[in-house]
Amino acid sequence: MLLVTGGAGYIGSHFIKAYLNKFTTHELLIIDNFSQGHHEAIANLSNVKIVNCDLMNLTDLEKVFETYPVDAVIHFAAFTEIGESQINPVKFFQNNVSGSINLINAMENFGVKKMVFSSSCAVYGIPEKIPIAETTPVNPLNIYGLTKKIIEDVLLAMHKTKGLSCVILRYFNASGASDDGSIGEAHDPESHLIPLVLNAALTNKPLKIFGGDYPTHDGTCIRDYIHVNDLANAHLKSLALVETSCLSEVFNLGSSCGVSVLDIIKTASMITNTDIAYEIVARRDGDPPVLIADYEKAKQGLNFYPEYDLTKIIQSAWRWQLNKQY
């Protein structure tokens, strides 16, 4: 049985949908404390067990492993808001680091040796070279990225000492929504750019842009956006790797295409047929100017090729924004 932590969250729920579309008869186990996930995102699913469990509670976590025949884990559960991580670092260390170590301990105690881990390009900080390859030195600029780096190091040590088979996936900017519009981004508060831009299109309230003086073509930060369905597909391929080999691999997941905040606003304005207002305010602590992926290794190791360009990403997010169910 596959255990998915944070399966009711944004990326987790899209992975669940992709997994069940491919493996219609396989059983899944989702654990989530629903502090950020949504019951509606995983409602009415067949062959799915759902347990309300907090990774901080090792006793409850071990009961899950005692009750269900888990043989592999995909670990999504984490706090992800960069700005908050700079203000409340202990909260992030407790949840992202201590919670993950509890999970790894439970896996070790019950002989589970296969994991796919959701990491982040935030581990790179301000990279020496663009685009960013997996060989780029990691030097997180914010607490969120540091928590991801710590767990990457723990997993690599567990591979060397205990034979854990793991794939670490460093996401660039997850974005978009399911093609049918049934699930999508619903953070509270929302901090991701594309849903904030689309909300500004709906409400006519000016969007705040954090910094207009970065060393980029228009002064705003540049990021690499990757559709959540492409991420889900990469997890399926990564799961196949850990199930067939004892390995430890790190892969970037991005598109190798960088777009600025103002580029996003321009594209969203065309899709929504709206003149989206914005105001430029002070930079946000912990934001690198440019993050663009070199995902050549994922092409070779996972046969990973993103299917969604920026227009398709924003179109899918706009469908969700217009018909949000939660």
Question: Which whole-number Å values give the CA distances from 160 to 105, 206, 260, in the listed order?
Answer: 15, 51, 40
Q: In whole angstroms, what is the distance from residue 205 CA to residue 209 CA? A: 13
Q: Is 219's pLDDT higher than 90?
A: yes
Average pLDDT estimate for 211-217: 96
Q: Is 286's pLDDT higher than 80?
A: no
The one catalytic residue among 19, 144, 295, 308: 144
Q: Is 144 among the catalytic positions?
A: yes
The closest of 37, 49, 48, 45 to 11, measured between CA atoms, is: 37
Q: According to the model, what pLDDT value does residue 190 have?
A: 87
79 contacts: CB under 8 Å, gap ≥ 6: 36, 85, 91, 92, 95, 96, 144
CATH of domain 2-175+225-253: 3.40.50.720
Q: What number of CA atoms fall less than 13 Å from residue 266's CA on the CB side?
A: 7
- What's the pLDDT band for 325 if we cut at 50, 70, 90? confident
The string of pLDDT tens digits covering residues 291-319 is: 999 999 999 999 999 999 999 999 999 99
**What residue spans define the domains of the chain?**
2-175+225-253
Is the Cα torsion angle 216, 221, 283, 88 positive or negative in sign? negative
The string of pLDDT tens digits covering residues 35-73 is: 999 999 999 898 999 999 999 999 999 999 999 999 999
- What's the pLDDT band for 25 if we cut at 50, 70, 90? confident
Looking at residue 222, the DSSP 8-state letter turns out to be E
Q: Is 288's pLDDT higher than 90?
A: no
Reading the block at residue 326, the tokens are 């939660």
The string of pLDDT tens digits covering residues 100-116 is: 999 999 999 999 999 99
The string of pLDDT tens digits covering residues 259-277 is: 999 999 999 999 999 999 9
Q: In whole angstroms, what is the distance from residue 260 CA to residue 255 CA? A: 14
Q: Is 150's pLDDT higher than 80?
A: yes
Q: Which residue has the higher pLDDT, 284 or 317?
A: 317
